[in-house]
């Protein structure tokens, strides 16, 4: 898709998007340093960067067009990767292959900033706002920010299962028609990992829109599933009733820390990312407390490299500001470290399938962008659409580059299989 300047300069609603509509304050020195760092990084990457002032950077590859270099550098100087994303939302740069550009950047994430400046991360990097901590009250607000946007919005790009997590395909490339079966394959693998069968007492942390609970109940299990999203719970209850499983599934609007009881299987799909590093010990202690003797815990988790987690975990990111406030992706090593340090749980199995998430996100983004008029009709503006497309492309690039992975993990007391 080619982009002219006129396609990316729609007015930005100042009240709705204040930090996109207005350029941030940034000292001339900070902006100059950002310009030098950015140009030095782009110059050696396999990209083709075309700046409006006529300069070209990169060694060749996916095309990135910078329409307002001064604004672009100022935003990056003021807030790093947050500014990079806000510049895209503002239409100051665009890409003919957005995933391609972002994949190159993700592949080189560890070396984009010189080591001398990386050591100053604590000085220049923005810190996560205290208000976004995942306390019981904060978690409710953080979850609502994303999942209570609109059930209709999510329905526009997800498949009929309304599964908002990585599918598992049989082969690539996949088509949209294969998504429901691929999502069921993912769910069934997790339920198998947890040993869910007829008569199992199952706890699901993070209901989504109810598909996992429905499939667990269809196996003969009794399911208690918890969510903090009012919108999700309402639709999940309806879908569970329509599937004829209302007598087997209880959907609670409750924080995971407030759950009681003991369960043969505890399952959770891509919810640990919303826990926050500060609360990982409490999360695993809660899982252990809720597990019946002989029980099994099966998690699906997005993970990042441990070395990148250690240097970036306190940094405030674009994703946290605009998409998942309070979110923090763990590493596989951090999951094992936390479980070992705070509980008797051990990781007995861990299977990665990041390429499948890249494919899932590709299909979601294509459908979202094809239904732009319907997104507008729901009351979301062009800046939101650019933000959401960037989020989906940014995530896909993370998995395509290998910077991100997604894993299904089995945790049991002592690591018993």
Tell whether 32 and 176 lie within a shared domain.
no
pTM: 0.94
Res. 3 pLDDT band, cuts 50 70 90: very low
Tell whether 369 and 316 lie within a shared domain.
yes
Tell whether 321 and 181 lie within a shared domain.
yes
Tell whether 21 and 121 lie within a shared domain.
yes
**Beta-bridge partners for 95:** 64
Tell whether 114 and 261 lie within a shared domain.
no
- Distance from the Cα of residue 163 to its chain's centroid: 14
pLDDT at 2: 38
Tell whether 288 and 357 lie within a shared domain.
yes
User: Residue 370 is encoded by which pair of tokens?
Assistant: 């094809």
The domain that contains 177 carries what CATH number? 3.40.50.150
User: Average pLDDT, stretch 185-214?
Assistant: 98
Tell whether 355 and 237 lie within a shared domain.
yes
Contact 216, 184 (CB under 8 A): no
Cα(73)–Cα(147) distance, rounded to whole angstroms? 33
pLDDT at 121: 54
| Domain enclosing residue 212, as ranges | 132-413
| DSSP reduced 3-state for 340 | helix
Cα–Cα nearest to 350, from 400, 399, 301:
301
Res. 1 pLDDT band, cuts 50 70 90: very low
| DSSP reduced 3-state for 251 | strand
Number of domains in the chain: 2
- Classify residue 81 by burial, with Cβ atoms within 10 Å: 0-12, 13-18, 19+: buried
pLDDT at 115: 62
Digit-coded pLDDT (tens) for 106-153? 999 878 776 655 555 555 566 667 667 888 888 888 888 888 899 999
Helices (H) and strands (E) in the chain, counts: 18, 11
Digit-coded pLDDT (tens) for 397-415? 999 999 999 999 999 998 6
Of 126, 156, 183, the one marking the end of a domain is: 126
Greatest alpha-carbon span in the chain: 68
| DSSP reduced 3-state for 42 | helix
User: Average pLDDT, stretch 230-255?
Assistant: 98
């Amino acid at each position: 898709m080619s982009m002219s300047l006129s396609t990316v300069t729609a007015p930005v609603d100042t009240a709705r998007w204040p930090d996109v509509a207005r350029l941030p304050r940034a000292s001339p020195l900070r902006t100059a340093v950002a310009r030098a760092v950015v140009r030095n990084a782009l110059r050696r990457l396999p990209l083709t960067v075309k700046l409006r002032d006529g300069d070209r950077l990169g060694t060749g590859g996916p095309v990135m067009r910078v329409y307002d270099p001064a604004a672009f550098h100022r935003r990056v100087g003021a807030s790093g990767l947050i500014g990079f994303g806000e510049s895209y939302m503002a239409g100051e740069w665009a890409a003919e292959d957005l995933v391609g550009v972002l994949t190159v950047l993700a592949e080189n994430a560890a070396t984009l900033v010189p080591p001398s400046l990386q050591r100053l991360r604590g000085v220049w990097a923005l810190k996560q706002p205290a208000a976004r901590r995942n306390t019981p009250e904060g978690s409710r607000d953080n979850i609502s920010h994303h999942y209570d946007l609109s059930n209709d919005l999510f329905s526009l790009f997800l498949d009929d299962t309304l599964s908002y997590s990585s599918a598992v395909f049989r082969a690539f490339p996949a088509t949209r028609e294969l998504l429901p079966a691929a999502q069921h394959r993912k769910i069934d693998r997790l339920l198998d990992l947890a040993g869910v069968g007829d008569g199992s007492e199952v706890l699901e942390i993070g209901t989504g829109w109810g598909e996992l609970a429905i499939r667990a109940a269809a196996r003969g299990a009794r399911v208690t599933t918890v969510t903090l999203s009012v919108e999700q719970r309402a639709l999940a209850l309806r879908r569970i009733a329509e599937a004829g499983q209302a007598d087997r599934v209880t959907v609670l609007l409750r924080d995971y820390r407030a759950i009681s009881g003991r369960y043969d299987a505890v399952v959770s799909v891509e919810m640990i990312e919303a826990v926050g590093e500060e609360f990982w010990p409490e999360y695993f202690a809660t899982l252990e407390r809720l597990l019946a003797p002989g029980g099994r815990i099966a998690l699906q988790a997005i993970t990042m490299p441990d070395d990148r987690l250690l240097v970036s975990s306190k940094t405030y990111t674009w994703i946290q500001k605009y998409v998942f406030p309070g979110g923090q992706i763990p590493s596989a090593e951090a999951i094992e470290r936390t479980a070992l340090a705070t509980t008797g749980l051990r990781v007995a199995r861990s299977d990665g399938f990041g390429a499948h998430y890249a494919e899932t996100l590709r299909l979601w983004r294509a459908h979202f962008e094809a239904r732009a008029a319907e997104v507008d009709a729901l009351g979301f503006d062009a800046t939101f659409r650019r933000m959401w497309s960037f989020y989906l492309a940014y995530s896909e690039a993370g998995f395509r580059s290998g910077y991100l992975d997604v894993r299904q993990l089995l945790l049991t007391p002592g690591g018993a299989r």
